[in-house]
Structure 1
Amino acid sequence: MKKWLAYPLLLCCMTASAQDVRDAAAKLQDQVVKWRRHFHQHPELSNREFATAKYVANYLKKLGLEVKTGVAHTGVVAVLDSGNPGPTVALRADMDALPVKEMNELPFRSQAMGGYNGKSVPVMHACGHDTHIAMLMGAATILSENKSSLQGKVKFVFQPAEEGVPAGERGGAELMVEQGVMQGVDVVFGLHISSDLDVGSVEYRDGGIMAGVDPFKIVIKGKQSHGAYPWQSVDPIVTSAQVIMGLQTIVSREIKLLDNAAVVTVGSIHGGVRSNIIPDKVEMLGTIRTLNPVARNKVYQSLPNKVEHIAASMGAEAEVTLPLEQSYPITYNDPALMSKMLPTLKRTAGEEHTLYTQAVTGAEDFSFFQQQVPGLYLFVGGKALDMPREKAPDHHTPYFVIDESGMQLGVELLTNLTLDYMKSAKH
């Protein structure tokens, strides 16, 4: 980093070229890889990122940042104050791993165990959060070394519990927001490494890029009877079957799919204990995924209406809990901000590697930050160029793997987005 760091970038007079930032990130790449491998070998589950947080906080303190720990249980928030007037840019990385047993034969593979809902489980960074931590530490390093050239402040947000909290707990981005992490912030940027996107590429989209998620619970109450005499029952199992089929018509017949995408899934159904007893009730659990508020509101109106009327038509009663427990908003990329920062993406990755993407129905609690201020969420390539896309291991699986060379682009993007936004805000 000597060449760039020896000559701080005076943003009041000039703009850091993509090559300047690329050179700095390239010289830091070996260290970023070391960080990533450390976190990969020592993963921790949601709300249990104690060692991870300590490691991150200790490094950020060495950079001379103002560091706060214990945010939303185990989160770390550090502020870089340039001393110059300007906006506050937040950069976010998630830190938690998953209850997955790693099957990769890597020298730094995880053999860690952890506790999840009262059970001892293997733990793995099976979604790339280890790379997110390392990339944000890299960006923090470059920006800190050029503190005097910045205009404003940078808030580095290392978030716990993106993957969801254990039963009976709270955490993640929603709790960070409640505890004031976004106070004073003007804009927020985040990214996610992708195991099936080529190294060196970045995917973007304005509007909804990841779905909002709303879990639900349905209880169908009927009348129990002997299985040989179903006419004496009000059968909640048959009623539930009708309900499940009816729910599928919300998307297929009520949502304008040319403009919207939505999913209504029943993932769990429980009722009865014997083959010859019709039970008195059935419980179902499911999830709703939507990509804009119009579709979300439509499903919220239609689902309970459909369930209650189908149940009534069968002589049963229905109780609908929507949402059940924690919901995630739509991960929504502010269109005006996306338009402003798109030249930064193209300058950093190259126009041919800056790809407009379709939305996905997975969810991200980064959306809670975007509810507070305009924000962008991007996908960064982590697939080796010689690996066919169809053979790339999926996220959340034991064979999840990424090409570490892809992290350099992540460091560059976080750095350039910060620098360019500060410059544009000044003007």
Structure 2
Amino acid sequence: MRKLTALWALLPLYAGAQTGTVTAFDKPVAAVKDQVIAWRRQIHQHPELSNREFKTAALVAEQLKSFGLEVQTGVGKTGVVAILKGGKPGPVIALRADMDALPVFERPDIPFKSTDSAEYLGQKVPVMHACGHDSHIAILLGTAKVLAQMKAQVPGTVKFIFQPAEEGTPGTEEGGAPLMIKEGVMDNPKVEAIFGLHINSQTPIGQVKYKSGATMASSDWFTIKVKGKQTHGSQPWNGIDPIAVSAQIIEGLQNIVSRQMELTKAPVVITVGKIHSGLRPNIIPEETIMEGTIRTLDSRMQAQVHERIKLTAAKIAEASGATAETSIDTKTKVTFNDPALVQRMLPSIEAAAGKANVTAADWTTGAEDFSFYGDKAPAFFFFLGGMPLNQDPAKAAPHHTPDFYIDDSRLDVGVKIFCQLVFDYAKTK
């Protein structure tokens, strides 16, 4: 009778994805919820820029060690990796959170508002968690605590990856997902599948959005240097105006999008975000430098866009007697959700969040270096709502802006989902 009672007590744990109940996680997740919010607010108040997440990493490592996990620090400069070896046989899966903040001034007047500043490329800048990475850290810490408490029942091994520099490294430094992968985060033991989430300020709290296949865009940064011939501003015919040539190139770049790419297949964005030329208003300068970003959601289209940008810039410059040199640096690849993994694990997300709260979404031209993990193992990246209920999504401040704000009252949904994925992945093999 005791054996039968013990087996019956464990039944809800393994029935979660089938019945829609998550009773095995309700109590431990509820118990950690306030701590998750507290972690998020503490980290939010003291943000750190990419590859400079020293205090954040120390806080994360301290907490993970207190849970009894194996912890490795200094991975990919400031990254932290923890390993939980479950009490039951099973696969190795990874859960990832990013840790870095942005050089943005925080405007919302909240009790845990960031007033910190730091040096960025030689300048003193304000620092803010303007993309929600503080929430990701807190959710993954909460997940680690819950699963550590349930260690005897956890199937297989779980890697908790706390990654620095998702927003891009300063200057020419290495960092982010590529460096963590280079240093073996997906090996020893080898990861079979990886999951990640991102908070979204324009999706209501408690709701989840996902997309199978291409989900987030690749991100390339480009520089175009146009060289002309300097002359007096009153005598443009004696020189070659690189500013006028650059204006034609900018228009030509948009013609690549609107006239040369098959937009019914996947969207393409080319943005010139920075242009610099000249010192005086009465001198036509010798050189103009443009910098911008390219976003694509198809790898073949990405390669085509690169070639067309180089050709367009060179030929437009040549027509005016100038020259144009283009360099392109790929920051991230297309974030691709493995369709088989999505189909297999979607019921688990629905079980944890409630089926009515989980919807398929369109792709986004935002980018994520989570994409690189997909080269090493099947990956599934989804979005968790952080917008207050009853707010108009059109009026919610987007990410990377001074007014960015999230409601952290339902971060427990993220913890539940991660826990459900850990238990259900082993069962659905």
> Does structure 2 conserve the Cα–Cα contact (< 8 Å) formed by 1:8 and 1:148?
no
Pick from 253, 257, 279 the counterpart of residue 251 of structure 1.
257
Residue 102 of structure 1, CA deviation: 2.2
Partner of 2:281: 275
Residue 269 of structure 1, CA deviation: 1.7
Pick from 302, 309, 312 the counterpart of residue 315 of structure 2.
309
C-alpha separation in 1, matches of 2:285 and 2:247? 14
Residue 33 of structure 1, CA deviation: 1.1
Q: Note closer, same or farther for the CA distance 1:13–1:226 as it changes in structure 2 (3 Å cut).
A: closer
Partner of 1:3: none
Residue 204 of structure 1, CA deviation: 0.2
Residue 22 of structure 1, CA deviation: 3.3
Pick from 299, 309, 313 the counterpart of residue 293 of structure 1.
299
C-alpha separation in 2, matches of 1:115 and 1:32? 29
Residue 12 of structure 1, CA deviation: 12
C-alpha separation in 2, matches of 1:42 and 1:8? 46
C-alpha separation in 2, matches of 1:302 and 1:408? 46
Query: Is the partner of 1:315 in helix, strand or coil?
Result: coil
Equivalent AA in structure 1 for residue 386 of structure 2: G
Equivalent AA in structure 1 for residue 277 of structure 2: G
Partner of 1:191: 197
Instruction: With the length of structure 1 as denominator, give the TM-score of the two structures.
Output: 0.93
Pick from 316, 331, 336 the counterpart of residue 332 of structure 1.
336
> Does structure 2 conserve the Cα–Cα contact (< 8 Å) formed by 1:220 and 1:316?
yes
C-alpha separation in 2, matches of 1:377 and 1:95? 16
Q: Note closer, same or farther for the CA distance 1:112–1:11 as it changes in structure 2 (3 Å cut).
A: farther
For 1:181-220, what aligned pairs fall within 5 Å after superposition?
A: 181-183=185-187, 184-220=190-226
Pick from 417, 421, 426 the counterpart of residue 422 of structure 1.
426
Equivalent AA in structure 1 for residue 201 of structure 2: S
Unpaired runs of at least 5, structure 2: 1-5
C-alpha separation in 2, matches of 1:393 and 1:406? 19
Tell me, yes or no, if structure 1 residue 178 matches structure 2 residue 186: no
Unpaired runs of at least 5, structure 1: 1-5
Partner of 2:327: 321
Query: Is the partner of 1:60 in helix, strand or coil?
Result: helix
Pick from 110, 115, 125 the counterpart of residue 106 of structure 1.
110
Tell me, yes or no, if structure 1 residue 24 matches structure 2 residue 22: no
> Does structure 1 conserve the Cα–Cα contact (< 8 Å) formed by 2:44 and 2:112?
yes
Residue 367 of structure 1, CA deviation: 1.0
C-alpha separation in 2, matches of 1:10 and 1:254? 58
Equivalent AA in structure 2 for residue 282 of structure 1: T
Query: Is the partner of 1:380 in helix, strand or coil?
Result: strand
1:264-322 per-position Cα deviation (integer Å, ceiling 9, x unaligned): 11112222222332222211111110011122122022111111111122222121112
Residue 364 of structure 1, CA deviation: 0.9
> Does structure 1 conserve the Cα–Cα contact (< 8 Å) formed by 2:215 and 2:364?
yes
Equivalent AA in structure 1 for residue 415 of structure 2: V
C-alpha separation in 1, matches of 2:212 and 2:135? 24
Equivalent AA in structure 2 for residue 382 of structure 1: G
Tell me, yes or no, if structure 1 residue 349 matches structure 2 residue 385: no
Residue 397 of structure 1, CA deviation: 2.4
Computed over aligned residues only, the root mean square deviation of the Cα atoms, in angstroms, reads: 2.0
Partner of 2:366: 362
Equivalent AA in structure 1 for residue 174 of structure 2: R
Query: Is the partner of 1:47 in helix, strand or coil?
Result: coil
Residue 372 of structure 1, CA deviation: 1.6
C-alpha separation in 1, matches of 2:7 and 2:31? 15
C-alpha separation in 1, matches of 2:143 and 2:426? 15
Q: Note closer, same or farther for the CA distance 1:105–1:58 as it changes in structure 2 (3 Å cut).
A: same
Tell me, yes or no, if structure 1 residue 239 matches structure 2 residue 223: no
C-alpha separation in 1, matches of 2:56 and 2:164? 10
C-alpha separation in 1, matches of 2:360 and 2:97? 22
Partner of 2:66: 62
Residue 7 of structure 1, CA deviation: 9.4
C-alpha separation in 2, matches of 1:201 and 1:418? 20
Instruction: With the length of structure 2 as denominator, give the TM-score of the two structures.
Output: 0.92
Partner of 1:372: 376
Query: Is the partner of 2:195 in helix, strand or coil?
Result: strand
> Does structure 1 conserve the Cα–Cα contact (< 8 Å) formed by 2:256 and 2:305?
yes
Tell me, yes or no, if structure 1 residue 230 matches structure 2 residue 236: yes
Equivalent AA in structure 2 for residue 415 of structure 1: C
> Does structure 1 conserve the Cα–Cα contact (< 8 Å) formed by 2:76 and 2:164?
yes
Q: How many residues align?
A: 418
Partner of 2:402: 398
Pick from 65, 68, 84 the counterpart of residue 80 of structure 1.
84
> Does structure 2 conserve the Cα–Cα contact (< 8 Å) formed by 1:331 and 1:363?
yes
1:170-214 per-position Cα deviation (integer Å, ceiling 9, x unaligned): 211111111110110111111011111111110000112111011
Residue 8 of structure 1, CA deviation: 11
Query: Is the partner of 1:210 in helix, strand or coil?
Result: strand
Query: Is the partner of 2:56 in helix, strand or coil?
Result: helix
Equivalent AA in structure 1 for residue 260 of structure 2: E
Tell me, yes or no, if structure 1 residue 145 matches structure 2 residue 149: yes
C-alpha separation in 1, matches of 2:7 and 2:276? 65
Tell me, yes or no, if structure 1 residue 118 matches structure 2 residue 122: yes
Query: Is the partner of 1:219 in helix, strand or coil?
Result: strand
Q: Note closer, same or farther for the CA distance 1:280–1:341 as it changes in structure 2 (3 Å cut).
A: same
Partner of 2:3: none
C-alpha separation in 2, matches of 1:347 and 1:12? 12
C-alpha separation in 1, matches of 2:13 and 2:371? 35
